[in-house]
Amino acid sequence: MSTFSNPANSLILALSKGRIFDDTMPLLAAAGITVTENPETSRKLILATNDPHVRVIIVRASDVPTYVQYGAADFGVAGKDVLLEHGGEGLYQPIDLNIAKCRMSVAVNAGFDYDKAVRQGARLRVATKFVQTAREHFAAKGVHVDLIKLYGSMELAPLVGLSDAIVDVVSTGSTLRANNLVEVEEIMDISSRLVVNQAALKLKRERLQPILEAFERASRLNN
């Protein structure tokens, strides 16, 4: 099936545009690989590199694990937030790249007394893209929640009364502040991981291994 587009002697790396692409470039450079096209200006979804055996595909951040799981890409870079929702099936996760760092948090309207609502055992409406992570977090706390699945702009939900709280990733916190929301609980630290297709790891070891080693060395500098 995918043997034509992804032959045994070549490698395909799945990345999303933006911060993951940008932060992965120095790691690729450490492996001697340069992407020769710019995803921000090109409409191409398959990008060439200086190495004829290595290509980069551009996919949505949350689709990276799926492409790698099915072997359409041999390896990829995805946030821990995305990997927890995907479940990690079929993926080997050898390296924390320490890039695209942020945290997963609970946030509410500035006027909402979250601690009191939790103490009183209120049932909370929580809007999020990260339903698995949110479900586990509130279950562990013993808080009853109705989860509302969204695909983006979670910050809007409490403002218009869709939910009492959101679970979202936060980096600077300026989006929360701009919308009069406050972070009331930090669930976990997030960074992006290298994910490798389990079959590719065995069948393409010779080509993959030097790249994985270069990523490992270079990512230590991000600590």
Residue 8 to residues 35, 54, 69, 213: CA-CA distances in angstroms? 21, 11, 16, 20
77 forms part of the interface with ligand PRT (CB under 6 A): no
169 forms part of the interface with ligand PRT (CB under 6 A): yes
Beta-carbon count within 10 A of 223 CB: 6
Select from 6-14, 65-73, 76-84, 140-148 the region that touches ligand PRT (CB under 6 A): 76-84
Q: Which of residues 86-115 bind ligand PRT (CB under 6 A)?
A: 100, 102
Q: Which of 93, 175, 179, 222 binds ligand PRT (CB under 6 A)?
A: 175
27 forms part of the interface with ligand PRT (CB under 6 A): no
Note whether 150 and 189 are within 8 A (CB): no
Q: Which of 33, 35, 56, 61 binds ligand PRT (CB under 6 A)?
A: 61
Q: How many binding residues for ligand PRT (CB under 6 A)?
A: 23
40 forms part of the interface with ligand PRT (CB under 6 A): no
Q: Which of 3, 9, 41, 174 binds ligand PRT (CB under 6 A)?
A: 174
| DSSP per-residue codes, 170-219 | ESSSHHHHHTTEEEEEEEEEEEEEEEEEHHHHHHTHHHHHHHHHHHHHHH
Distance CA(12)–CA(22), nearest Å, equals 17
Q: Which of 10, 51, 58, 62 binds ligand PRT (CB under 6 A)?
A: 62
124 forms part of the interface with ligand PRT (CB under 6 A): no
Strands 91-109 and 75-79, sheet pairing: unpaired
152 forms part of the interface with ligand PRT (CB under 6 A): yes
Distance CA(212)–CA(170), nearest Å, equals 28
Please identify, using beta-carbon distances, which residue of 25 and 122 lies nearer to ligand PRT: 25
CA angle, 40 then 42 then 48, to 5°: 105
Which parts of this chain interact with ligand PRT (CB under 6 A)?
Answer: 16, 18-20, 60-62, 79, 81-82, 100, 102, 152, 168-175, 190, 192
